[in-house]
Amino acid sequence: MLESLVTSKTRIKLLLKFFAHANSGYLRSLAKEFDESTNSVRVELNRLTEAGLLVSEEEGKTKLYKANKNHPFFNEITNMVSKFLGLDDLMERIVKRMGEVEKAYIVGDYALGIDSGTVNMILIGKNLDKKYLEFIKEKTFEKVQRKVEVTILESDPGDIQGILVFGS
Protein backbone atom coordinates (compact mmCIF):
# COMPACT_ATOMS: atom_id res chain seq x y z
CA MET A 1 0.00 0.00 0.00
CA LEU A 2 2.77 2.41 0.88
CA GLU A 3 4.45 1.60 -2.44
CA SER A 4 1.43 2.89 -4.33
CA LEU A 5 1.72 6.28 -2.58
CA VAL A 6 5.50 6.58 -2.47
CA THR A 7 7.35 5.46 -5.58
CA SER A 8 10.92 5.59 -4.25
CA LYS A 9 11.92 2.42 -2.40
CA THR A 10 14.67 4.36 -0.62
CA ARG A 11 12.14 6.94 0.57
CA ILE A 12 9.87 4.16 1.85
CA LYS A 13 12.78 2.68 3.80
CA LEU A 14 13.54 6.08 5.31
CA LEU A 15 9.91 6.70 6.27
CA LEU A 16 9.73 3.27 7.89
CA LYS A 17 13.02 3.85 9.70
CA PHE A 18 12.16 7.28 11.11
CA PHE A 19 8.40 7.00 11.66
CA ALA A 20 8.08 3.43 12.99
CA HIS A 21 10.10 4.27 16.10
CA ALA A 22 11.95 7.31 17.38
CA ASN A 23 14.96 6.39 15.25
CA SER A 24 17.72 8.65 14.04
CA GLY A 25 20.52 8.04 11.60
CA TYR A 26 23.53 9.30 9.70
CA LEU A 27 23.83 9.23 5.92
CA ARG A 28 26.56 6.59 5.72
CA SER A 29 25.03 4.28 8.32
CA LEU A 30 21.63 4.50 6.58
CA ALA A 31 23.18 3.73 3.19
CA LYS A 32 24.92 0.70 4.68
CA GLU A 33 21.78 -0.47 6.51
CA PHE A 34 19.66 -0.19 3.35
CA ASP A 35 22.41 -1.51 1.08
CA GLU A 36 21.97 1.60 -1.09
CA SER A 37 24.41 4.15 -2.48
CA THR A 38 25.08 7.16 -0.29
CA ASN A 39 23.96 9.36 -3.18
CA SER A 40 20.48 7.81 -3.45
CA VAL A 41 20.01 8.01 0.32
CA ARG A 42 21.29 11.63 0.37
CA VAL A 43 18.81 12.64 -2.35
CA GLU A 44 15.88 11.20 -0.39
CA LEU A 45 17.08 12.62 2.93
CA ASN A 46 17.28 16.04 1.29
CA ARG A 47 13.77 15.70 -0.17
CA LEU A 48 12.27 14.62 3.14
CA THR A 49 14.11 17.39 4.99
CA GLU A 50 12.99 20.03 2.46
CA ALA A 51 9.41 18.78 2.90
CA GLY A 52 9.80 19.26 6.64
CA LEU A 53 9.24 15.59 7.46
CA LEU A 54 12.79 15.16 8.76
CA VAL A 55 15.03 17.46 10.75
CA SER A 56 18.80 17.31 10.89
CA GLU A 57 21.34 18.53 13.36
CA GLU A 58 25.06 18.88 12.97
CA GLU A 59 27.23 16.59 15.06
CA GLY A 60 30.78 17.52 14.21
CA LYS A 61 31.24 16.95 10.49
CA THR A 62 28.14 14.79 10.12
CA LYS A 63 24.40 15.33 10.14
CA LEU A 64 22.03 13.33 12.31
CA TYR A 65 18.54 12.93 10.81
CA LYS A 66 15.30 12.17 12.62
CA ALA A 67 11.55 12.58 12.17
CA ASN A 68 10.15 16.06 12.69
CA LYS A 69 7.65 15.53 15.50
CA ASN A 70 6.32 19.07 14.95
CA HIS A 71 5.27 18.43 11.35
CA PRO A 72 1.48 18.72 10.92
CA PHE A 73 1.33 15.22 9.39
CA PHE A 74 3.66 13.51 11.88
CA ASN A 75 0.86 11.51 13.55
CA GLU A 76 -0.76 10.58 10.24
CA ILE A 77 2.51 9.34 8.75
CA THR A 78 3.31 7.43 11.93
CA ASN A 79 -0.13 5.77 11.80
CA MET A 80 0.24 4.95 8.10
CA VAL A 81 3.65 3.38 8.68
CA SER A 82 2.29 1.40 11.63
CA LYS A 83 -0.56 0.03 9.53
CA PHE A 84 1.83 -0.80 6.73
CA LEU A 85 4.11 -2.66 9.12
CA GLY A 86 1.17 -4.61 10.49
CA LEU A 87 0.22 -5.75 7.01
CA ASP A 88 3.83 -6.46 6.18
CA ASP A 89 4.10 -8.63 9.30
CA LEU A 90 0.87 -10.41 8.37
CA MET A 91 2.16 -11.21 4.89
CA GLU A 92 5.47 -12.52 6.23
CA ARG A 93 3.71 -14.80 8.73
CA ILE A 94 1.26 -16.10 6.14
CA VAL A 95 3.93 -16.87 3.58
CA LYS A 96 6.17 -18.63 6.13
CA ARG A 97 3.50 -20.69 7.88
CA MET A 98 0.59 -21.23 5.51
CA GLY A 99 2.20 -23.81 3.28
CA GLU A 100 2.77 -23.50 -0.44
CA VAL A 101 1.71 -19.87 -1.02
CA GLU A 102 2.50 -18.97 -4.64
CA LYS A 103 1.08 -15.45 -4.63
CA ALA A 104 -0.63 -13.07 -2.24
CA TYR A 105 -2.65 -10.01 -3.22
CA ILE A 106 -4.25 -7.20 -1.30
CA VAL A 107 -7.48 -6.32 -3.10
CA GLY A 108 -10.50 -4.13 -2.51
CA ASP A 109 -10.44 -0.83 -0.63
CA TYR A 110 -6.88 -1.12 0.71
CA ALA A 111 -5.54 -1.76 -2.78
CA LEU A 112 -7.22 1.51 -3.76
CA GLY A 113 -5.72 3.35 -0.77
CA ILE A 114 -9.00 3.49 1.18
CA ASP A 115 -8.96 2.50 4.86
CA SER A 116 -12.37 0.89 5.25
CA GLY A 117 -11.31 -1.13 8.29
CA THR A 118 -11.22 -4.41 6.36
CA VAL A 119 -8.21 -5.78 4.53
CA ASN A 120 -9.21 -8.12 1.70
CA MET A 121 -6.60 -10.60 0.56
CA ILE A 122 -6.36 -13.34 -2.03
CA LEU A 123 -3.92 -16.17 -1.44
CA ILE A 124 -3.01 -18.50 -4.26
CA GLY A 125 -1.62 -21.92 -3.42
CA LYS A 126 -2.38 -25.52 -2.66
CA ASN A 127 -2.70 -27.31 0.69
CA LEU A 128 -2.76 -24.08 2.70
CA ASP A 129 -3.19 -24.25 6.49
CA LYS A 130 -6.65 -22.74 7.00
CA LYS A 131 -6.57 -23.31 10.77
CA TYR A 132 -3.42 -21.19 11.08
CA LEU A 133 -5.02 -18.57 8.85
CA GLU A 134 -7.87 -18.10 11.35
CA PHE A 135 -5.35 -17.69 14.18
CA ILE A 136 -3.27 -15.11 12.30
CA LYS A 137 -6.39 -13.14 11.28
CA GLU A 138 -7.31 -12.72 14.96
CA LYS A 139 -3.76 -11.67 15.89
CA THR A 140 -3.69 -9.14 13.05
CA PHE A 141 -6.95 -7.59 14.23
CA GLU A 142 -5.48 -7.20 17.72
CA LYS A 143 -2.36 -5.57 16.32
CA VAL A 144 -3.67 -3.19 13.62
CA GLN A 145 -7.40 -3.03 14.44
CA ARG A 146 -8.33 -4.13 10.93
CA LYS A 147 -10.51 -7.07 10.00
CA VAL A 148 -8.82 -9.43 7.55
CA GLU A 149 -10.82 -11.35 4.97
CA VAL A 150 -9.00 -13.94 2.91
CA THR A 151 -10.02 -15.79 -0.22
CA ILE A 152 -7.95 -18.86 -1.11
CA LEU A 153 -7.57 -19.95 -4.73
CA GLU A 154 -5.62 -22.97 -5.97
CA SER A 155 -4.53 -21.24 -9.18
CA ASP A 156 -4.19 -17.67 -10.40
CA PRO A 157 -7.09 -16.70 -12.69
CA GLY A 158 -4.82 -14.02 -14.18
CA ASP A 159 -7.23 -11.11 -13.79
CA ILE A 160 -6.89 -10.15 -10.12
CA GLN A 161 -7.10 -6.39 -9.61
CA GLY A 162 -5.00 -5.51 -6.59
CA ILE A 163 -1.50 -5.19 -5.21
CA LEU A 164 0.74 -8.25 -5.52
CA VAL A 165 2.53 -8.40 -2.15
CA PHE A 166 4.15 -11.82 -2.54
CA GLY A 167 5.18 -13.88 -5.54
CA SER A 168 5.74 -12.86 -9.10
pLDDT tens track for 90-104: 777 777 788 889 998
Q: What is the side-by-side strand order in the sheet with 162-166?
A: 147-153, 118-126, 100-107, 162-166
CB-based burial label for 23 (10 Å; 0-12, 13-18, 19+) = middle
- Is 3's pLDDT higher than 60? no
CATH of 1-67, one of 1.10.10.10, 3.40.30.10, 3.10.50.40, 3.40.710.10: 1.10.10.10
The C-alpha R_g of the chain, in whole angstroms, comes to 18
CATH of 86-166, one of 3.30.460, 1.25.40, 3.30.70, 3.30.1120: 3.30.460
pLDDT tens track for 131-151: 888 887 777 777 767 788 889
- Is 113's pLDDT higher than 60? no
With beta carbons less than 8 A apart as the criterion, state whether 139 and 147 touch.
no
pLDDT of 136 reads 79
pTM for the whole thing?
0.53
